[in-house]
Structure 1
Amino acid sequence: MRDVYLVGAGQSPFGAFPDRSYRDLFAEAYRAACDSVDGGLEAEDVDEAVVGTLGVGGRQLGLSGPAVTEHVGLHNVPCSRVENACAAGGFAVRNAVQAIKSGFADVVVAGGYEVMTDLSDDVTKYWLGVSGETEWERLTGTTFSGVYAQMASAYMTEYGATAEDLSRVAVKNHGNGAKNPKAHLDFECSLEDAVDAPTVADPLNLYHCCPTSDGAAVAVLASEDVVDEYTDERIRVAGVGAASERVGLAQRDRYTGISASQVAAETAYERAGVGPDDLDFAEVHDCFAIAELIAYEDLGFCEPGTAPELLREGRTDPDGDLPVNTSGGLKSKGHPIGATGTGQVVEAFDQLTGRAGDRQLEDPRPRYGLTHNVGGSGGASVVHVFEREPEGVAR
């Protein structure tokens, strides 16, 4: 099968935008992605489009993919919508990769969007809750933060982690997000602030939870046959892995890990021919602080129960061994559900091409980056490994 390359990526700001529509946000992300393609991208270049969205709030429930692609001039281009809860955007990228590898397309736009802040708190909780197990979680009153609070309680009980460990996730990611002009919560916080914040669902407090956000993000992928028409710097999609798992917590054997992420990571590493030690950075799904700790272990960054040590030792800081969530993550950058996975890919593209501004990792510039996108509390997961190919490498 053919190699696939990431030739462009862009996003709108993430935040609360009461005066903007989902089409408007998608158009901004699409224009940014087109502008990032060195050789330029025209509508007639695009063979296919895939759009990820949950469809929060009931707007354009049917044909939501074509609703945004026709708005940016992608007429007569086949477009499909992907819904995999919070992993919709990541799976949109995966579907785009599959379309190119299969030979059906040479250039595919993979995007995602969500507008979430124009709803009441009660309605927003409803729409977020549908990503959990319907009968035994949502309809019995369990909120999304409540589900992750159960996971946090189990992890803290089993491994002795503390509320301060959870708060270190917030401190790190807010520090990164403060350098990201597209971040929703673009401010730093102290460890004291993050420890003493009001409780949301014990043991999780306000600083342990990501915001609900509006936003869109778009990635442009191309086959090995045409990549040189669009860029001189090749960013290869080296490996992709995905898996599904039981949707409800009560159906699982353990709360302290997400098997779908473990399988997705193993598959992505195998296909890429690399392992966790080869990575230069990672964007992981930190909808709640506990999710980032669990991700470290699911993705093979450390052994079970040792994730807090990576934070305490600064190993996932921007100057650490493996920087995690240089964008600010969901915690600071924001979490517009359908755009989150594609937004992670935007950060990977920016880091690998040297466009990350004040967040740019140097000495040397990264070669391998990973994105990890989870749906619900682990019902679906997708992992991508990207490689900046050295100059002169031919495959």
Structure 2
Amino acid sequence: MSDVAIIGASMTQFGKREGWVADLLAEAGEACLRDAGVAPSEVEHLYVSNMASGEFEGQTGVPNRLAHDLGALPAYTQRVDQTSSSGGAGMYAAWQSVASGASDMTLLVGGEKMTHRTTAEATDVIASLTHPVEYKHGVTLPSFAGLTARAYLEKYDAPRESLAKVAVKNHRNGVDNPNAQFRKEITVETAMESPVIADPLRLYDFCPITDGSAALMFCPVEMAEQYTDDYVTVAGIAGATDTHVVHEREDPTVMGGVVESGQQAYEMAGMGPEDIDVAELHDMFTILEFLQSEGLGFFEPGEAWLGIEEGITTRDGELPINTSGGLKSKGHPLGASGVAQGVEIYEQLMGEAGKRQVDAEVGLTCNVGGFGNCVITTVMEVGR
């Protein structure tokens, strides 16, 4: 099995965009080809992470169109759909294609176009990933988040303000991300006084509906130096699945898919949580940053809230989390989010993160589908 390098990355502006998802995919794909110094004709596999172009736009066959638009013919194309973890699943597929020897140059592009639909329509599309029985009873992802947040706060006697501080931190990081949807700071008071969405969670505990795309270029490590002197390697990657019915879990504050995928990715990398210098976690809701931080071993159960209180996860802290602004500030175009997490870690490890830059040689991404139904964890490190 070949060691896999990432030699190029790109991300479009996230937010409300004009056009179709195919336009956003082409924008990110072209930028990634330029960044990697790879000609379109060199791409052998082209993966597109996308959850719902058919439901949002009535558009199918987007990978084939992207290959045409990029001039990447006759590359093999495939759409990767794993709900809101489609981007992470795309990273897994792209890594597999290179590690297996099936492709020497694989381009991954993730994207979603959502803002042209009403909030109710977009929410309904996203809610389709829940179990039909739960959905029939009105149980949505925001309601899962509210119920879990209440359970966590009460079980561990954590202050409600700790969740608001996650939003404040990630908005602060987003200010310095030129591609983030929201580039404004907020206060704890603003977050705490915003409208209730799913008690105890309020408006600023939730990520926005977003358009956008991101891309990464994968190749064998032995080929990477033909294109660049500096690159990032995929040290470990793994995926796991938890129960589809959330109430069947023994403890709703434990994300089993995060725990399992994290352990497997660490084992593959020959590392542990103590080796991670920077992480991008799937903060679709603020409570998820706590649950993933604990599931990945950064904190003991019930202690992630202490990390935000003590400044451990801020940009100048011991373990910066969501330096990009996270889904909370950067935005959450479903199929693009996991890829954009990889872009942020790539830029951090390459020293290309600008004002967001932290001191890092090893980074981690955790991309979550649904409410932990499926998870992909990736450990990346500076190429040696």
The TM-score by the shorter chain falls in which range?
over 0.9
Dislocated runs of 4+, deviation >6 Å: none
The TM-score, its normalising length taken from structure 2, stands at 0.97
Q: Offset at 1:69?
A: 2.9
User: How far apart, in 2, do the equivalents of 1:337 and 1:71 lie?
Assistant: 22
Aligned to 2:4: 4
Q: Offset at 1:75?
A: 1.9
For the 8 Å contact 1:14–1:334, the answer to whether it is kept is: yes
Q: Does 2:73 match 1:75?
A: yes
> SS of 2:222's equivalent?
coil
Aligned to 2:27: 28
Out of 251, 254, 260, the position equivalent to 1:254 is: 251
User: How far apart, in 2, do the equivalents of 1:333 and 1:157 lie?
Assistant: 29
CA pair 140-67 structure 1, distance change in 2 beyond 3 A: farther
Aligned to 2:381: 387
**How many percent of aligned residue pairs carry the same amino acid?**
37
Aligned to 1:53: 50
CA offsets, 1:130-187, max 9 Å, x none?
1222222x22222221111111111112111222011010000000001111001111
Specify the code of the residue in structure 1 equivalent to 2:32. Answer: A
The TM-score, its normalising length taken from structure 1, stands at 0.95
User: How far apart, in 1, do the equivalents of 2:156 and 2:197 lie?
Assistant: 22
Out of 58, 61, 66, the position equivalent to 1:63 is: 61
For the 8 Å contact 1:184–1:332, the answer to whether it is kept is: yes
Out of 232, 237, 241, the position equivalent to 1:240 is: 237
For the 8 Å contact 2:49–2:335, the answer to whether it is kept is: yes
Q: Does 2:321 match 1:332?
A: no
Aligned to 1:171: 168
Q: Offset at 1:70?
A: 2.2
Q: Does 2:315 match 1:318?
A: yes
Q: Offset at 1:61?
A: 5.1
In structure 2, list runs of 5 or more residues that go unmatched: none
For the 8 Å contact 1:93–1:111, the answer to whether it is kept is: no
- Aligned alpha-carbon RMSD (Å): 1.2
Q: Does 2:289 match 1:292?
A: yes
For the 8 Å contact 2:56–2:113, the answer to whether it is kept is: no
Aligned to 1:111: 109
Q: Offset at 1:252?
A: 1.4
CA offsets, 1:277-333, max 9 Å, x none?
111100000000000011110110010000010000000001100000000000000
Of stretches 146-155 and 263-272 in structure 1, the one that deviates more from structure 2 is: 146-155
Specify the code of the residue in structure 1 equivalent to 2:193. Answer: D
For the 8 Å contact 1:169–1:311, the answer to whether it is kept is: yes
Aligned to 2:133: 135
Q: Offset at 1:224?
A: 2.2
User: How far apart, in 2, do the equivalents of 1:222 and 1:372 lie?
Assistant: 22
User: How far apart, in 2, do the equivalents of 1:61 and 1:131 lie?
Assistant: 19
In structure 1, list runs of 5 or more residues that go unmatched: none
Superposition pairs for residues 179-194 of structure 1, below 5 Å?
Answer: 179-194=176-191
For the 8 Å contact 1:106–1:225, the answer to whether it is kept is: no
Aligned residues between the structures: 383
User: How far apart, in 1, do the equivalents of 2:338 and 2:174 lie?
Assistant: 17
User: How far apart, in 2, do the equivalents of 1:248 and 1:156 lie?
Assistant: 22
Q: Does 2:145 match 1:151?
A: no
